[in-house]
């Protein structure tokens, strides 16, 4: 009932937005670029598409769905931003931003409101939500919809949306809760892999997760003579490609870089991967996606050869209790929605 109400609100918002601007009817016989040029309100977007070398692509067969920022939307960016992006040396960054506004396929307004996210040509996902009766793509409001073209559809937005420009390691570093993981990645010589161009999915244990290991375990793994063992443990947390939470839950098994398999399951409304709770999901990075977990995963091979001491040793208890999380799995999309639980404090 609630979902039907939200979808109804979203559809109403989209219908209202469709009346905005003279472009609302579209020109079905003309491609996306030609339609944008003739509209007259996308001069900056068209200039950017040309500078990025994407004209031929967006005039191709498609179909594509473009969330198109107006000239006014580009004008909201800090002074000099557009001029800097249009420079030849910044072409790749410009391509990354523009492709973040494009979704493969023809996604009409009626379909958009059924989504909470959509994968873009950039590789990262945009968030879609209803906020105060308005439909938003990331932080941008949709102000006109369903502008038909010969090779797709245009939805007009009032802000330029920006993909993450930080790689996996930088994203984790800025979060401030993955210091042990980053130190371990550096010690294992994996930092260059996690900052590379190949898209990866990382199930990232927090500092609190590492603190749950027996005393001395982390220090032992960080020693140079244990580099291979450390690398095996870390690679067991990494899956090739971008795998978002709905696909994690839909997959029967995820092959890791280490060679082992991770299995997702939902029990009592809590999503888990090999027994570790997913406490936050779908954190985009420029080269992949991060899912946060509350327990360090141990590959079976390591388990058999030396990790038994971890299981049988007294559990290390940190002075400060680790935060407790709950999670809810949306039955329609499979996306994990996580939240930090309030804990009672004794007086």
Average per-residue pLDDT in the chain?
83
Asked if residue 23 and residue 69 are part of one domain, the reply reads yes
The pLDDT tens digits of the residues spanning 278-310 come to 999 999 999 999 999 999 999 986 443 433 333
Q: The domain containing residue 27 runs over which residues?
A: 2-157
d(CA 131, CA 15): 15
Residues with Cβ within 8 Å of residue 80, at least 6 apart in sequence: none
**What's the total number of domains in the chain?**
2
Asked if residue 183 and residue 86 are part of one domain, the reply reads no
345 within some domain = no
Residues with Cβ within 8 Å of residue 225, at least 6 apart in sequence: none
Asked which of 93, 123, 157 is the last residue of a domain, the reply is 157
Asked if residue 309 and residue 264 are part of one domain, the reply reads yes
pLDDT at 252 over 50: yes
Asked if residue 320 and residue 176 are part of one domain, the reply reads yes
- Print burial letters for 83-103: b (CB count within 10 Å at least 16), e (below 16): eebbeeebeeebbbbbbbbbb
pLDDT at 14 over 50: no
Asked if residue 191 and residue 133 are part of one domain, the reply reads no
Asked if residue 54 and residue 94 are part of one domain, the reply reads yes
Asked if residue 49 and residue 147 are part of one domain, the reply reads yes
347 within some domain = no
d(CA 119, CA 127): 9
3-state secondary structure of 326: strand
Higher-confidence residue of 23 and 259: namely: 259
What CATH number is attached to the domain comprising 149? 2.30.180.10
39 within some domain = yes
Asked if residue 177 and residue 130 are part of one domain, the reply reads no
Model confidence at 240, pLDDT cuts 50, 70, 90, reads: very high
The pLDDT tens digits of the residues spanning 129-182 come to 977 778 899 999 999 999 999 999 999 999 999 999 999 999 999 999 999 999
The CA–CA distances, whole Å, from 117 to 19, 50, 247, 289, 294 equal 24, 28, 13, 14, 25
72 within some domain = yes
pLDDT at 47 over 70: yes
pLDDT at 16 over 80: no
162 within some domain = no
User: Running DSSP on this structure, what letter comes out for residue 295?
Assistant: S
């Amino acid at each position: 009932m609630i979902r039907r109400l939200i979808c109804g609100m979203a559809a109403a918002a989209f219908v209202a937005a469709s009346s905005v601007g003279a472009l609302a009817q579209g020109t079905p016989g003309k491609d996306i670029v030609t339609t944008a040029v003739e509209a007259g309100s996308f001069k900056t977007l068209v200039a950017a598409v040309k500078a990025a070398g994407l004209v031929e692509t967006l005039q191709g067969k498609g179909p594509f769905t473009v969330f198109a920022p107006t000239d006014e939307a580009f004008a909201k960016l800090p002074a000099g931003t557009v001029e800097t992006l249009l420079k030849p040396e910044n072409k790749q960054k410009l391509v990354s931003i523009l492709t973040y506004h494009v979704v493969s396929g023809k996604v009409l307004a009626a379909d958009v409101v059924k989504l909470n996210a959509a994968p873009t040509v950039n590789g990262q996902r945009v968030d879609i939500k209803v906020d105060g009766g308005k439909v938003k793509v990331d932080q941008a409001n949709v102000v006109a919809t369903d502008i038909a073209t010969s090779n797709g559809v245009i939805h007009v937005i009032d802000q330029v949306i920006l993909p993450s420009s930080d790689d996996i390691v930088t994203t984790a570093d800025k979060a401030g809760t993955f210091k042990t993981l980053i130190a371990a990645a550096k010690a294992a010589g994996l930092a260059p892999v996690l900052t590379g161009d190949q898209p990866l999915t990382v199930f990232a244990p927090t500092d609190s997760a590492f603190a749950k290991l027996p005393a001395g375990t982390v220090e032992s793994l960080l020693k140079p003579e244990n580099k291979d063992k450390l690398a095996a443990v870390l690679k067991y947390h990494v899956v090739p490609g971008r795998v978002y939470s709905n696909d994690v839950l839909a997959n029967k098994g995820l092959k890791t870089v280490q060679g082992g398999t991770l299995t997702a399951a939902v029990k009592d409304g809590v999503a888990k991967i090999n027994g570790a709770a997913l406490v936050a999901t779908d954190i985009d990075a420029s080269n992949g996606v991060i899912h946060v977990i509350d327990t360090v995963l141990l590959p079976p091979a390591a388990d058999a050869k030396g990790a038994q001491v971890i299981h049988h040793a007294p559990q290390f208890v940190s002075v400060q209790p680790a935060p407790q999380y709950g999670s809810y799995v949306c039955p329609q999309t499979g996306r994990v929605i996580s939240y930090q639980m309030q804990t009672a404090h004794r007086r």
